[in-house]
Structure 1
Amino acid sequence: MRNNRSRDSKGPSTLRHRRGCLRLLLIFILLGLVQVFLVSCERPDPDVTVISTTAEAGFVVMAEQGGVGNQGQVPPPTPLIHRTMTPFPTYFGTPTPDPTRQGPGDGSSNYDIHVVSLGETLSQIAQTYGTSVDDLVSINNLGDSDLLAIGQQILVPGGSTTVSPSFKSIPDSELVYGPGVKGFDVFSATAEFGGYLSSYQEEVEGVLLGGPAIVQLVADRQFVNPRLLLALLEHKSGWLTNPAAIDDEYPLGYVRQGYEGLYQQLSWAANKLNHGYYGRAEGGLLSFDLADGNRINFAPDINDGTAGIQIFYASLPSATYESWLADVGPDGFFATFNKLFGNPFAYTVDPLWPADLAQPALSLPWPVGETWYFTGGPHGGWADGSAWAALDFAPEHEQLGCYQSEAWVTAIVDGLITRSDMGGVVIDVDGDGFPGTGWTIYYLHLESRDRVPAGTYVRAGDRLGHASCEGGFSNGTHIHIARAYNGRWVSADGDLPFVMGGWISEGLGREYDGLLVRGDAVKEACECREESNAILAD
């Protein structure tokens, strides 16, 4: 620019300069038109109304005039605008009211009612209510203080009068890894938002994984919606949209030794979500504690997915009653989810289970003619927060602990292998390639050696791999096997008991304790190899 002005002052180059300026002006005008065209392609007109209503929408982005709302209570936040043109599914109206549940007590007496939930003992309950085991035994006339059943009601001193908000955060189908997530791609979503998560790396069980792969692994293992995990991560630390790291060690706020890094943080979070969801849906969970000592009763009209959100935020070590109310209210987590993905109730799939749901015929997970041992009764599908969906079996061997087994694990039903990594194998029974629809069989602790690859269609009895200690935690070579339907764990001892080869699972009220019954034959779970837990595949 300075050179041009210098030539203009000399006179002879003035005409040549003016012609050059005209050419430049024409070029700028053309470039401006191109730029306008490109911008018009980059984002939709802000007056466009979103019309997609399919629950199968994957990673989607919404135009500004979406018109979505939640429960008729608050206007939704404006969703973030991204380069992609795929709209959010729209949502109008209010969530379907949930039947009113029994509360923990009305405070009209000196006692409250506590419903025994997954894994609880009298000593834990006594500590929660500031009393003793002896007092609980005396108040309830318990003959054996060591025996409690899930769903059992016992009297406890005092009781909380604080009730959680009735505001619904998410539908049940948005907590589980079910039909509403079909088409959603964690990797595409993370790349699109461009935050710190997209560049994060961490070693998990000896394998270096990127941030999106860690989210996907936790979702796969715990059957928790990956879209929900991303929203939780964003709400707490901004990792999805902020390129700078915020709290690299504890991005979800669970500051405890041994829980450093994204994998441990997400695993803890997913377990808490499951604990709230399945604890309220199946385990009789009616109340919970905040870190500041406040005890909260679930509002009787919320749904189980919302219970999962309330339990998660209550479990943060820094949670106070005020901060917890902010997180579970309309301007907290819900607003963050809405900005990222639209109204969560637009993804509702209801009911998740049809009224006539029945388990398909299943065989035992080892070859005919071989004897394996029933080593674990009903317990968590993954960790202790999920439904008691899993059973454990160990092959015949003289060695205890972790060892390399040559015994084959087999498919218990026909289906498509949709996952085979990190010790896990998943059979998609309906064969549509997405394990969140229909029946799914989940195997854990299959050794990488000889393991069936993803994409293989198997028939019942086909070889899948060998039992091992790979994947998660295991102190002995065995297989862990569980069922899910539409992304929701199916309890092994619930209304649809786990039935394999005619053996019917029964629980004994404690995690890992249980029976397998076929006719007059009864086998009891035991970390042993005895006749009492030996099962021959015939």
Structure 2
Amino acid sequence: MSRAWRSSLHLRFGPALALVLWLAGCVRPGPNPPTFTTPNAATPGVVTDGGATSQPAADPSLPLQTQLGTPAPAYNGQPTPDPAHYETGAGGAATLGSHTVAVGETLGILAQRYGTTVEELMRLNGLTNPDLVQLGQALQVPGGEIQQVVSPDFKIIPDSELVYGPAARDFEARSFVSGLNGYLLRVSEEVEGQALDGPAILQLVADRHSVNPRLLLAVVEHRTGWVTQATPAATTADLGAGAIVTPGLYGQLSFAANLLNLGFYGRAEGGLRGFNLGDDTQVLFSAVINDGTAGVQRYLGAISGTTRDAWLEATGATGLYATYQRLFGNPFGYAVEPLLPAGVAAPPLVLPWAAGETWYFTGGPHGAWNTGSAWGALDFVPPGDQVGCIPSDAWVTAMTGGVISRSGHGAVVVDLDGDGYAGTGWAILYMHLETRDRATAGTQVQSGGRLGHPSCEGGFSNGTHLHIARSYNGRWISADGELPFVMSDWVSSGAGAEYDGYLTRGDQTREACVCREPINALTP
């Protein structure tokens, strides 16, 4: 499924994960919240209950973040419903079955196969774009009995608590976890050749997916108790991915973060109106929930082992929301709205290589990181004749000035507003940069400044290339939406399918191609 020179970030777990993102998963309820004891004055800061749980020495009725010395923001209100995003007409049973999309299948082909119309398939599946179907997606088709239901109206988190944005600026996951002395501190595994402990793994997943680390910690606690329990009942990572990924915390957390993004961006801009829950239920997102809540509902609906009743409990006031509140207080106290202010404009950029060099446009709009994120990325390969993961002496250069906020694991992130935090204002991700000569965090760069060499480092790639993506306030920005890339006056656009797309400047057009040909050649 991956092609030469194309990033396989969207296939991080291979075809099996792509399939599960669209098929209903099954979730088991998370563990019961641990019981805390009164702090022991002889051990200020942390006490232990039979060696199984620990807590800071403070009022146990307060959120743990407050007990650790950082007061959770006050919030005494009740989130109001969103104005209806669309009309929902679900309810009752329909004579439907499920079809998993195979290679080359379109809605037109499926309409002929099942004796229906493209419009009817779009209605049954809550689709707004007839081209928005993907390999492995489960579609409802005429043929069996499916119950259609509308998701609960209960809001779980604001949008700004799903993305790694302004609200998480001063939050340090490692410090929080260390204060609780939970099992997560003692987790260790190798990720892409580097030994990482639990907090480092969580931080890497948060950085890569641009998902709020507070939300990821709540997910870990809800499913495993590892954040607060020193000796939890189970020490095998299980965030719901089942056996479809390589066992381990990194794979499980990546699964969770990707599903959170899938619900958020899919609902916000991808025409996603719901998902399959088990073999007999199709959930349509409530029209009055926000996109962040849709992201959490989507993740909880994909966890291996779920039932409809378990999912309803997990998405209600006593589910993941309650776990989050116990750790950090009311999530709506952290709300930063809107994430995308009216009138925000895309920054003008230059192509990310030296003047006079010819690079090639090999990947149109596709996932900024993994399948669930917005189609925020573009791919380019340097000049040369070889293919595959080969060393390159070509330089990736900054498309505009800023300060490097993160460098490592194949990535360089340039923060454009210069405050050193990528979650406020505009930031640009340059991915697959080789360790050799890679610019370091804290470096101030100017437009055209050298950042590093293209490679296959970071995530998984089957060929040396550069993957670029942008975010604003931690929210991935689509390359085929209202704020396209504008690089040396080349403007990005999509062709309706992931990785297909164009760059246009005046009357010139370059089309994404897995090739080095005049049709995709670009010279600044």
Is residue 378–residue 514 contact of structure 1 (8 Å, CA) maintained in 2?
yes
Distance, in Å, in 2 between the alignment partners of 1:422 and 1:42 is 34
Q: Read off the aligned partner of 1:534 and give its amino acid letter.
A: A
Aligned to 2:193: 206
Aligned to 1:94, the other structure's residue is in SS state coil
Aligned to 2:71: 87
Aligned 8 A contact 2:350 2:488 in 1: yes
Question: 2:219 — aligned with what?
Answer: 232
Q: Please, which of 398, 406, 409 is the counterpart of residue 393 of structure 2?
A: 406
1:284-299 equivalences in 2 (<5 Å) = 284-299=271-286
- The yes-or-no answer on 1:357 pairing with 2:357 is no
* TM-score normalised by the chain length of structure 2: 0.82
Q: Matched residues in 1 for 2:225 and 2:383: separation?
A: 50
Give the CA deviation at 1:62: 11
State how far apart, in whole Å, the 1-side matches of 2:232 and 2:388 are.
40
What CA distance in whole angstroms lies between the structure 2 residues aligned with 1:371 and 1:246?
57
| Cross-structure match for 1:339 | 326
1:328 partnered with 2:310:
no
**Paired residue secondary structure (1:271):** helix
Structural mapping, 1:140-155, within 5 Å: 140=119, 148-150=130-132
Question: Given the superposition, is the C-alpha separation of residues 125 and 260 from structure 1 closer, same or farther in structure 2, using an over 3 Å criterion?
Answer: farther
CA distance in 2, matches of 1:108, 1:40: 57
Does residue 1:504 correspond to 2:491, yes or no? yes
SS in 1 for 2:496: coil
Q: Which deviations, in whole Å up to 9, do the C-alpha atoms of 1:457-508 show, x marking residues without a partner?
A: 0001000000000000100000000000000000000011111111111101
2: CA distance, partners of 1:395 / 1:107: 53
Give the alignment of 1:442-481 within 5 angstroms.
442-481=429-468
113, 120, 127: which one aligns with 1:134: 113
Residue 361 of structure 1 and its aligned partner are, at CA, apart by 1.3
In structure 1, C-alpha distance between the alignment counterparts of 2:57 and 2:149, rounded to whole Å? 38
Q: 2:421 aligns with which of 434, 445, 450?
A: 434
Tell me if the contact between 1:429 and 1:440 (Cα under 8 Å) persists in the aligned partners.
yes
Q: Within the alignment, does 1:241 sit opposite 2:228 as a pair? A: yes
Asked if the contact 2:379–2:468 (Cα under 8 Å) also holds between the matched residues in 1, the reply is: yes
Q: By how many angstroms is 1:122 displaced?
A: 8.5
Cα offset for 1:293? 3.6
Task: Name the structure 1 match of 2:470.
Answer: 483
> Within the alignment, does 1:514 sit opposite 2:501 as a pair?
yes
Displacement of 1:136 in angstroms is 6.5
1:374–1:522 CA distance, 2 compared to 1 (3 A): same
Distance (Å, rounded) in 2 between the aligned partners of 1:104 and 1:121: 30
- How far apart are residue 292 of structure 1 and its match? 4.8
Counterpart selection for 1:273 from 225, 243, 260: 260
Residue 161 (str. 1) matches residue 140 (str. 2)? no
How big is each residue's C-alpha offset from its partner over 1:315-363, in whole Å with a ceiling of 9 and x where there is no partner? 0120110111111110010110000010100000000011100011111
Say whether the 8 Å CA contact 2:260–2:299 is kept in structure 1.
yes
Aligned mates of 1:242, 1:155 — CA distance in 2: 42
Q: Which has the larger radius of gyration?
A: 1
Deviations 1:19-54 (A, max 9, x none): xxxxxxxxxxxxxxxxx99789969xxxxxxxxxxx
Residue 162 of structure 1 deviates from its aligned partner by 1.0
* Structure 1 residues 136 and 498, CA gap change in structure 2 (3 angstroms): farther
| Residue type at the aligned position of 1:149 | D
State the secondary structure of the residue aligned to 1:162.
strand
Q: Which of structures 1 and 2 has the larger relative contact order (alpha carbons within 8 angstroms, sep 6+)? A: 2
Residues of 2 paired with 1:175 and 1:524: CA distance?
Answer: 34
1:100 partnered with 2:79: no
How far has the Cα of 1:63 moved from its partner? 7.0
Task: Measure the CA separation in 2 of the matches of 1:381 and 1:166.
Answer: 29
1:360–1:111: structure 2 CA closer, same or farther, 3 Å change rule? farther
Q: Distance in 2 between matches of 1:247 and 1:359?
A: 47
Query: Aligned equivalents of 1:281 and 1:222: distance in 2?
Result: 16
Q: Kindly tell me: are residues 292 and 331 of structure 1, through their superposed partners in 2, closer, same or farther at Cα, counting changes over 3 Å? A: farther
In structure 2, the residue matched to 1:533 is: 520
Q: Check 1:346–1:124 CA distance in 2 against 1; reply closer, same or farther (3 A cut).
A: farther
What CA distance in whole angstroms lies between the structure 1 residues aligned with 2:186 and 2:240? 20
Q: How far did 1:159 drift?
A: 6.7
Partner Cα distance (1:228, 1:207) in 2: 25
Compared with structure 1, are the counterparts of its residues 474 and 136 closer, same or farther at alpha carbon in structure 2 (3 Å cutoff)? farther
- Cα distance, 1:243 vs structure 2: 1.1
1:319–1:42 distance in 2 versus 1, CA, 3 Å: closer
| Residue of structure 2 in register with 1:21 after alignment | none
Secondary structure in structure 2 of the residue aligned to 1:400? coil
Q: What code does the residue aligned with 1:135 have?
A: Y
Give the residue type in structure 2 aligned to 1:471.
G
* Aligned-residue offset at 1:141: 9.9
What secondary structure is seen at the aligned counterpart in 1 of 2:114? Answer: helix
Structure 2 residue runs of 5 or longer lacking an equivalent are: 1-38, 47-54, 122-128, 134-138
Distance in 2, matches of 1:382 and 1:232, equals 20
Equivalent residue number for residue 54 of structure 1: none
Q: SS of 1:406's equivalent?
A: coil
CA distance in 2, matches of 1:300, 1:401: 46
Count, aligned residues: 462
User: Secondary structure, in 3 states, of the residue corresponding to 1:228?
Assistant: helix
1:126 to 1:302, Cα distance in 2 relative to 1, 3 A: farther
Partner of 2:293: 306
**CA contact 1:62–1:87 (8 Å) conserved in 2:** no
**Structure 1 residue identity aligned to 2:349:** L
Query: C-alpha separation between the residues in 2 aligned to 1:502 and 1:395?
Result: 20
| TM-score, L = length of structure 1 | 0.80
Where 1:470 maps in the other structure, the secondary structure is coil
Shift of 1:96: 3.9
Structure 1 gaps, min length 5: 1-35, 44-59, 66-76
Q: Matched residues in 1 for 2:318 and 2:506: separation?
A: 56
Structure 2 residue 251 is matched with structure 1 residue 264:
yes
SS at match of 2:384: coil
8 Å contact from structure 2 (residues 158, 292) kept in 1: yes
Secondary structure of the residue aligned to 1:229 is: helix
- In 1, the alpha carbon distance for the partners of 2:77 and 2:312 equals 24
What is the percentage of aligned positions where both structures have the same residue?
52
- When residues 488 and 121 of structure 1 are mapped into structure 2, their CA distance, relative to the original with a 3 A threshold, is farther
Deviation of 1:291 after TM superposition, in Å, equals 3.3
Pair 104,394 (structure 1): closer, same or farther in 2 beyond 3 Å: farther
